[in-house]
Structure 1
Amino acid sequence: MARRPYSADEAGAALRALANADNLAGMARFGIETGTALGVSMPGIRSVAARISHDHQLAQDLWQSGIHEARILAGLVDKPHWVTPDQMKRWTADFNSWDVCDQICGSLFDKTPYTDAMIVEWAASDQEFVKRAAFATIAWKSVHDKKADDTCFLPFLALIREASTDHRNFVKKAVNWALRQIGKRSAQLHAPALALAQELASSTDKAARWIGRDATRELQSAAVLGRLSLS
């Protein structure tokens, strides 16, 4: 199906046509904020996005609607080269659910010219989902940015070490995710990521110890070692 321009009202109507109240309970069980949610599945949101022409203003309008799925859709109809640092700061300040955070970071914010600078800024934030955005973006960038030199990821290990004692669940899990993805990116990055994971695994801090042990387990798995030709 060919893409065409949509208004915010049309896009909202397309999402509402896929609304399923039965999905809301399942979303809540996974810790997703459902106060403004319609209960549209991620495949459903992607099916709507596939019909819409990329449109920066539409993305802003969808974000301003406050509707959970509309905000995820906003990240799919925007394009990274249209994004500004101000937009990145405004949207992350609005994050109130881990899935919106992760989807926006993985569909949009990990590909902008400002990504690395924003990661550093967000990692220093006290706001739970802003800080999560830093590490979700690191994780996505590790997977998506095939052209980046591996050395670009080494400074992120210091951010991971610093954030490893944050006990908030949504931060802790993102820090762990970022560490694992860096270590799985390449054989070159595997060694320093594993070294950090093992360091954290022996920490006296409960959060750091969990992050380190879980990351060590995956980075030393046969699947990862085999894929990186390290076994």
Structure 2
Amino acid sequence: MPRRPIDMQPSPDRLATALALLHAQARPGELAGMARFGIVGERRLGLSMPAMRRIARTLGRDHELALQLWATGIPDARIVAGMVADPARLTSRQMDAWALGFESWDVCDQVCGSAFLASPQAWDKVAQWAARPEAFVRRAAFSLLATLAVHDKSADNAAFVHALALIEGAAGDERNFVKKAVNWALRNIGKRNPALNQAAIDAARRIQAQGSRAARWIAADALRELTGDAVQARLKARC
């Protein structure tokens, strides 16, 4: 994505341009269908993900504009905000404020997979947010962890083994959007390499023994994939 100088302040016209681009791609007729999948938000415009990515590419990296887009409260604008934000400039306070502002899983996951993933504070936030009571803040912890398991090539196994303890600690959370993210993180860690596959399988069996409905679902789904032929074949091919 092309970068603008980080000290450049967006003009009101630039924010207006960004909002005009968003409104031009609005799909109000899609909102009811999106809501059935938990993609909600009072001011949502109904943009498709490809449309939001195109708008982000057009706007380029612009951290101040990202903050202004976030402040609109429009879910689609908040997704684009995550795409144009400068991860290196996101403060801990801004990340916490954005996480507290999540109202749907798609905004949570998209921002975690863009701005938060590349932040130097990503791992710290996983640990902090995993202990939070708010559903979408806690989801953010495990959505971010799931994304780190795929994209953080520099992280060693020890970081993910430590994260498995966070997963085990959250496995009893019955809230749908939390337990699905916990499961996602567990599966992604277990697909990273053979050693982590075994560690994740062991963690899943401990989770299964917790006995709660959420824990049993998380464990059964993860074990089905992590012990399955497809994952095992891919891991063996990497050796």
TM-score computed with the length of structure 2 as normaliser: 0.92
Q: Which residue of 2 aligns with 1:22?
A: 29
Query: Which amino acid in the other structure matches residue 211 of structure 2?
Result: T
Q: Which residue of 2 aligns with 1:134?
A: 141
Q: Which residue of 2 aligns with 1:216?
A: 223
- Deviation of 1:197 after TM superposition, in Å, equals 1.1
- Deviation of 1:203 after TM superposition, in Å, equals 3.3
Q: Which residue of 2 aligns with 1:144?
A: 151
Aligned partner of residue 228 in structure 1, secondary structure:
helix
- Deviation of 1:150 after TM superposition, in Å, equals 2.2
Computed over aligned residues only, the root mean square deviation of the Cα atoms, in angstroms, reads 1.8
Alignment of 1:153 with 2:163, yes or no, is: no
1:26-65 alignment, distance < 5 Å: 26-65=33-72
Residues 167-195 of structure 1, C-alpha deviation per residue, up to 9 Å, x if partnerless?
00010100000000000111121110011
Query: Which amino acid in the other structure matches residue 189 of structure 1?
Result: L
Q: Which residue of 1 aligns with 2:202?
A: 195
Unpaired stretches in structure 1, ≥5 consecutive residues: none
Residues 200-222 of structure 1, C-alpha deviation per residue, up to 9 Å, x if partnerless?
23432111000000000010111
State whether residues 105 and 133 of structure 1, in contact with CA within 8 Å, keep that contact through their aligned partners in structure 2: yes
Q: Which residue of 2 aligns with 1:11?
A: 18
Query: Which amino acid in the other structure matches residue 163 of structure 2?
Result: F
State whether residues 27 and 34 of structure 1, in contact with CA within 8 Å, keep that contact through their aligned partners in structure 2: no
Distance 2:194 2:43 in 1: 43
Q: Which residue of 1 aligns with 2:114?
A: 107
Give the counterpart of 1:78 among 74, 85, 98: 85
State whether residues 135 and 177 of structure 1, in contact with CA within 8 Å, keep that contact through their aligned partners in structure 2: yes
State whether residues 146 and 189 of structure 2, in contact with CA within 8 Å, keep that contact through their aligned partners in structure 1: yes
Distance 1:56 1:120 in 2: 25
Aligned partner of residue 58 in structure 2, secondary structure:
coil
Unpaired stretches in structure 2, ≥5 consecutive residues: 5-9
Distance 1:129 1:166 in 2: 12
Query: Which amino acid in the other structure matches residue 157 of structure 1?
Result: L
- Deviation of 1:3 after TM superposition, in Å, equals 7.7
What is the number of equivalent residue pairs in this alignment? 231
- Deviation of 1:79 after TM superposition, in Å, equals 2.0
Deviates more, 1:17-26 or 1:95-104: 17-26
Distance 2:134 2:108 in 1: 12
Aligned partner of residue 180 in structure 2, secondary structure:
helix
Query: Which amino acid in the other structure matches residue 90 of structure 1?
Result: A
Residues 116-172 of structure 1, C-alpha deviation per residue, up to 9 Å, x if partnerless?
111111011110000000000000011111122222111110000000000000101
Distance 1:47 1:113 in 2: 26
Aligned partner of residue 108 in structure 1, secondary structure:
helix
Distance 2:161 2:100 in 1: 27
State whether residues 3 and 62 of structure 2, in contact with CA within 8 Å, keep that contact through their aligned partners in structure 1: no
Q: Once superposed, which parts of structure 1, at least 4 consecutive aligned residues long, lie more than 6 Å away?
A: 1-6
Deviates more, 1:3-12 or 1:101-110: 3-12
- Deviation of 1:2 after TM superposition, in Å, equals 7.3
What fraction of aligned residue pairs are identical, expressed as a percent?
49
Aligned partner of residue 51 in structure 1, secondary structure:
helix
Aligned partner of residue 96 in structure 1, secondary structure:
coil
Query: Which amino acid in the other structure matches residue 51 of structure 1?
Result: T
State whether residues 201 and 209 of structure 1, in contact with CA within 8 Å, keep that contact through their aligned partners in structure 2: yes
